[in-house]
Amino acid sequence: MRLKNKSVICLVDSEFEDLELWYPVIRLREEGAAVHLAGPEANKEYIGKYGVPAKTDLSYEQLSAEDYDGILVPGGWAPDKIRRYNHVLELIRQMDQQQKPIGQICHAGWVLISAGILQGRKVTSTPGIRDDMTNAGAIWVDEAVVVDGHVVSSRRPPDLAPYAKAFCDRLAQG
């Protein structure tokens, strides 16, 4: 239970990639972290790409960087929706400035691009948004998981085990 005093927010919207949301959330909870789901609306059920539901605890507007030790952004088609919320982008920027762990997998890189925090950072993502990542100033590599400071990135569902472990390890560091 090395993460028993840690609190993490996981961003949700319709058509999130089911495994990319739930695998890291379950892994964090197994290690003792409190994980809250946040979406455009609180107490609303959002459905993943493959039909798995996720009910939000909070709305994006209720989030404050000071209340959390880290943040997860799952992939799927949800990131294209999530990145349209200014409050989310500001939250990502604040967590970046505070050097709190930021986890992103697959298409979630779009949210970090829109927040403007990738310049000069070594990251990975689904190869489908490689050009987007490099055009945002990132140094893109094709690896299962990349940790650059407090930013933890991964490519796709087959990489979930090393991604979730790397995020938990980074969160445990402080």
Residues annotated as catalytic (active site), given as ranges = 106-107
Q: Are strands 145-148 and 151-154 parallel, antiparallel or unpaired?
A: antiparallel
Tell me which residue of 78, 72, 58, 66 sits closest to 13, measured CA to CA: 78
Q: How far apart are CA 144 and CA 170, in angstroms?
A: 16
Q: How far apart are CA 109 and CA 124, in angstroms?
A: 8
Determine contact, residues 145/126, Cβ cutoff 8 Å. no
Q: How far apart are CA 128 and CA 155, in angstroms?
A: 10
For residue 57, what is the DSSP state?
S
The helix (H) or strand (E) run that includes residue 54 is strand 53-55
